[in-house]
């Protein structure tokens, strides 16, 4: 008997013809993320399994929660397909529980001699016999014992824990994100990484109007994002001269829009150099005066590649909540 983390794919199972590509990318991303741990990762068409060193469990789960494509996971005990051993292990696992419980059996191995409902009844009866502090509630139990019998062994597991969700980074193409020192663009970056997009970051620096501390803050924010997105390249664009020329030669009321149009032009050149297929910004409709529908449309007219704005319909409270999470 040994403990494993059982990972469910969720959305990846709907990919049909290219499912193998998505699962293989998730597998490679997990290997990179857990490279410094004593783990063994195996996979089949419906899930992955991580065998781990017991003392590293909490650290492994922490890293696992940062991998997009993991829909949910469960900590499970893996044993051989032996009826009595499965029952004994179920009793042992439930010794640590209290309140109400139920047993659910999934018999993927059709050669297993006992039907699922009957085996759940037998396991539940044995658990009750050996744990007087437990009672059965099949509708709203405090604990659920999942028994899964497969061709290569049996698993006893508890409730599923939510993973990072999304799809694996590297399956959604590449995009360049215009990153500032606020929280909006890092949240937008995180949301696009969750859809499998590899990121290149572009930061516009305008000293003395922006300080070195502002660029340091951007690096710190991107470090947080990269825990989920993986390593990314960051370009810092010196923008002071352009900003001053705009200020000296353009109407004041158009300064922000013209500046953003120049940023889009520069960002698109960098994006094409990095073989990106889109730009990403952290704009939210109506959040500030330069983010009206007309201003956004005017800014986008200089771009020839798609511009993604994952925060476009969010208010500041929702964006802050994602940032804190």
For residue 214, what pLDDT is reported?
86
Residues 6+ apart with CB under 8 A from 199: 174, 175, 176, 177, 189, 192, 193, 225, 229, 232, 280
For residue 1, what pLDDT is reported?
60
The tokens describing 91, both together, are 């009793």
- Cα distance between residue 266 and residue 200, in whole Å: 14
For residue 133, what pLDDT is reported?
85
- Cα distance between residue 84 and residue 87, in whole Å: 5
| Sign of the dihedral through C-alpha 90, 95, 97, 98 | positive
Task: Provide the Cα torsion 124, 128, 133, 136; round to 10°.
Answer: 40
- Cα distance between residue 61 and residue 116, in whole Å: 30
Torsions phi, psi for 65 (to 5 deg):
-70, -5
Kind plus residue range of the DSSP H or E element containing 182: none
pTM of the model: 0.89
In 193-290, beta strands by DSSP E: 198-205, 233-238, 278-280
Q: Chunked in runs of 10, what are the mean pLDDT values of the chain (325 residues)?
A: 87 87 95 94 88 90 96 93 93 88 93 95 93 90 92 88 95 96 94 98 92 89 95 95 95 94 97 98 89 92 97 95 91
| Sign of the dihedral through C-alpha 9, 11, 12, 14 | positive
What count of Cα atoms within 13 Å lies in the side-chain half-sphere of residue 78? 15
Kind plus residue range of the DSSP H or E element containing 192: helix 184-194
- Cα distance between residue 149 and residue 187, in whole Å: 41
């Amino acid at each position: 008997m040994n403990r494993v983390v059982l990972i469910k794919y969720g959305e990846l199972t709907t990919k049909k013809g290219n499912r193998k590509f998505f699962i293989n990318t998730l597998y490679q991303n997990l290997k990179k993320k857990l490279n410094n741990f004593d783990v063994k990762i195996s996979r089949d068409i419906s899930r992955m399994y991580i065998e781990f060193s017991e003392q590293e469990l909490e650290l492994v789960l922490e890293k696992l929660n940062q991998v997009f494509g993991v829909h949910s996971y469960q900590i499970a005990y893996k044993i051989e397909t032996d009826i009595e051993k499965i029952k004994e292990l179920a009793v042992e696992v439930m010794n640590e529980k209290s309140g109400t419980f139920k047993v659910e059996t999934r018999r993927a191995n059709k050669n297993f001699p006992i039907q699922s409902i009957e085996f759940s009844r037998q396991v539940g009866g044995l658990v009750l016999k050996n744990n007087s502090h437990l009672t059965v509630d099949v509708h709203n139990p405090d604990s659920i014992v999942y028994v899964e019998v497969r061709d290569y062994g049996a698993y006893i597991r508890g409730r599923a824990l939510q993973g990072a969700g999304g799809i694996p980074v590297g399956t959604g193409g590449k995009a360049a994100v215009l990153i500032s020192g606020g929280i909006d663009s890092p949240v937008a970056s995180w949301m696009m990484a969750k859809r499998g997009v590899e990121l290149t970051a572009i930061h516009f620096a305008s000293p003395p109007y922006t300080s070195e501390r502002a660029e340091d803050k951007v690096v710190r924010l991107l470090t947080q994002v990269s825990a989920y997105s993986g390593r990314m390249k960051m370009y810092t664009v010196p923008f002071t001269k352009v900003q001053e020329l705009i200020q000296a030669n353009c109407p004041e009321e158009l300064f922000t829009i013209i500046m953003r149009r120049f940023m889009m032009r520069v960002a698109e050149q960098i994006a094409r150099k990095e073989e990106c297929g889109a730009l990403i910004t952290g704009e939210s409709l109506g959040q500030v005066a330069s983010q009206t529908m007309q201003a956004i449309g005017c800014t986008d007219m200089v771009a020839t590649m798609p511009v993604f704005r994952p925060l476009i319909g969010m208010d500041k409270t929702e964006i802050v909540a994602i940032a804190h999470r």
